[in-house]
Amino acid sequence: MTPQLFGRILLRLACDEQVVCSDVGESSFLDRRDDLLARQFDRLLFTWDCS
């Protein structure tokens, strides 16, 4: 599955002084609109971006 297939960000967590993730970064859970409407959360895509 590629992120281009997922049109919505369900949850995004960014690291900062209060949320420590060992480095500067951001994690996201992406989903498709049809899956969200059908409450099919088993098809989420997790991404992690760091710098």
Residues of the domain holding 41: 3-50
Q: State how many domains the chain has.
A: 1
Instruction: For residue range 3-42, list pLDDT tens digits in order.
Output: 667 778 888 888 776 666 666 778 888 998 888 899 998 9
Of 18, 17, 30, 28, residue with least CA distance to 50: 28
pTM of the model: 0.67
Of 1, 50, 7, residue with least CA distance to 30: 7
Of 49, 44, 50, 48, residue with least CA distance to 1: 44
